[in-house]
Amino acid sequence: MPDLVETLIEDDRWSDAGLPALAEQACRATLARLDLTPDQFEISLLACDDARISILNADFRGKPSATNVLSWPADDLAAEDDGGTPEHPETGFEGMPEELGDIAIAFETCTREAQEQGKAFSAHVTHLLVHGCLHLLGYDHIREQDAALMEGLEVEILATLGLADPYG
Residues annotated within the binding site are: 131, 135, 141
| Residues contributing to the annotated binding site for Zn(2+) | 131, 135, 141
Is the Cβ–Cβ distance between 2 and 97 less than 8 Å? yes
Neighbours of 83 (CB within 10 A): 13
Q: What residue ranges in the chain does DSSP mark as E strands? A: 5-9, 41-48, 69-73, 98-106
Q: What is the 3-state secondary structure (H, E, C) of 49-98?
A: CHHHHHHHHHHHHCCCCCCCEEEEECCCCCCCCCCCCCCCCCCCECCECE
Is the Cβ–Cβ distance between 154 and 166 less than 8 Å? yes
CA distance 146 to 68: 20
CA distance 95 to 15: 26
